[in-house]
Chain A
Amino acid sequence: NAGVTQTPKFQVLKTGQSMTLQCAQDMNHEYMSWYRQDPGMGLRLIHYSVGAGITDQGEVPNGYNVSRSTTEDFPLRLLSAAPSQTSVYFCASRDRGGNTGELFFGEGSRLTVL
């Protein structure tokens, strides 16, 4: 089982460039979310989705856009990258019917904005 797959694993951008971090899950999970983790800090929720066509903001949504056209995919878009967005990004998904609501995480995407 692939679980949650994130691409790319590493990316370097220049200030002002745009890019999309991809996240795909093959577990038919309705809930998906994006977190960012800065050095020495915990994970902060950026955006989340409870199903196709439904998204909502988390703690730190500014500078990021998301969409959810399918159950499997939840891309995170940076329209105009800034150095403050240098971070490690984690995508996570969860089974709506699961007993524990366990979040399954991808391996992360390390983004550097110069």
Chain B
Amino acid sequence: LAKTTQPISMDSYEGQEVNITCSHNNIATNDYITWYQQFPSQGPRFIIQGYKTKVTNEVASLFIPADRKSSTLSLPRVSLSDTAVYYCLVGEGGLTGGGNKLTFGTGTQLKVEL
């Protein structure tokens, strides 16, 4: 299983772009990269998933370089409500192999201030 490393915490201000980088040096060929967001006293919520290059949805972008050993979650123009813990996960898509044992690291605590 690919291990991930993220910064423990980050601080930002409203309106800024926030980039959270995750390292996953041992990522396997079949592994996807997925990011989740967790607010206090709630379960994590899916944000975005990608395999390579760039993926964008209505809330975030995910940048994955060619070697796939890292990924960057980009949150444009953050607000106070984006204060949360963000987790990077690496594992196979589907229900085979590592895709079943989806492990969460300690995540990155993002704090957004006025």
List the interface of chain A (C-beta within 8 A of B): 4, 30-31, 33, 35, 40-45, 48, 50, 56, 58-59, 90, 92, 96, 100-108
Contacts of B103 in A (CB 8 A): 44-45, 59
Which residues of chain B from 56 to 106 have any CB-CB distance to chain A below 8 Å in the complex?
Answer: 87, 91, 93-95, 99-106
A31, B107: Cβ atoms closer than 8 Å: no
With A56-B100, A100-B49: A42-B107 Cβ-Cβ less than 8 Å: yes
With A31-B95, A100-B93, A101-B93: A48-B100 Cβ-Cβ less than 8 Å: yes
User: Roughly how many angstroms separate A59 CA and B98 CA in the complex, as a whole number?
Assistant: 12
**What total of chain B residues lie within 8 Å of the partner, measured CB to CB?**
24
Contacts of A50 in B (CB 8 A): 95, 100
User: Roughly how many angstroms separate A44 CA and B107 CA in the complex, as a whole number?
Assistant: 12
User: Roughly how many angstroms separate A33 CA and B99 CA in the complex, as a whole number?
Assistant: 12
Contacts A96-B94, A101-B99, A106-B43 known; list 6 others, CB within 8 Å: A42-B104, A42-B106, A90-B43, A90-B44, A104-B46, A105-B44
Choose among B34, B87, B106 the residue that contacts A100 (Cβ–Cβ < 8 A).
Answer: B34
Which residues of chain B from 1 to 56 have any CB-CB distance to chain A below 8 Å in the complex?
Answer: 32, 34, 36, 41-46, 49
* 16 A–B contacts from the bound complex (CB under 8 Å): A41-B106, A42-B105, A42-B106, A43-B104, A56-B100, A101-B32, A101-B94, A101-B99, A102-B46, A102-B49, A103-B36, A104-B46, A107-B41, A107-B42, A108-B41, A108-B42
Choose among B34, B46, B101 the residue that contacts A45 (Cβ–Cβ < 8 A).
Answer: B101
Contacts of A105 in B (CB 8 A): 42-45
CB proximity of B51 to chain A, nearest CB, Å: 11
